[in-house]
């Protein structure tokens, strides 16, 4: 078994602030994902990475940067937090070609 650890669990930011969310997995999976979950809008793909140093944009990449410095970790940066923004950011991983996607517990973002 393995686990996906997301930090921090809760993140409160100020409008215009740059905020970084971190994700670590010990499954030894090659592919990692960042999804955004808004109430009533399901899960939307922000970025994914097939291997170390690879980055692919999802449907929601504008306003975000991502970084995959090593196989086990994948970071997401909100480049400029929007006022009153509230969402849960979910990190996930799987091995390319395998079906099951494993999720972390999420980082809950609130912007004041």
Decide if residue 55 touches other proteins (CB under 8 A).
Answer: no
Among 13, 19, 36, 104, binds other proteins (CB under 8 A): 104
Among 35, 66, 72, 76, binds other proteins (CB under 8 A): 35
Query: What number of H helices and E strands is found in the chain?
Result: 0, 11
Residue among 93, 77, 89, 90 nearest 25 (CA): 93
49: left (phi over 0), alpha (psi -120 to 50) or beta: beta
Nearer to other proteins, 19 or 47 (CB): 47
Q: Stretches 12-20, 61-69, 76-84, 96-104: which one binds other proteins (CB under 8 A)?
A: 96-104
Among 69, 105, 110, 112, binds other proteins (CB under 8 A): 105
Give backbone dihedrals phi and psi of 73, rounded to 5 degrees, phi first. -135, 145
């Amino acid at each position: 078994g393995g686990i996906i650890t997301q930090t921090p669990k809760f993140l409160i930011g100020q409008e215009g602030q740059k905020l970084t969310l971190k994700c670590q997995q010990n499954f030894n999976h090659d592919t990692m994902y960042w999804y955004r979950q808004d109430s009533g809008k399901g899960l939307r793909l922000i970025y994914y990475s097939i291997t170390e140093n690879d980055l692919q944009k999802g449907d929601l990449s504008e306003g975000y940067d991502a970084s995959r410095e090593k196989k086990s970790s994948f970071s997401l940066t909100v480049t400029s937090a929007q006022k009153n923004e509230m969402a849960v950011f979910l990190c996930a991983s799987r091995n390319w070609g395998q079906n099951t996607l494993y999720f972390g517990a999420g980082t809950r973002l609130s912007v004041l």
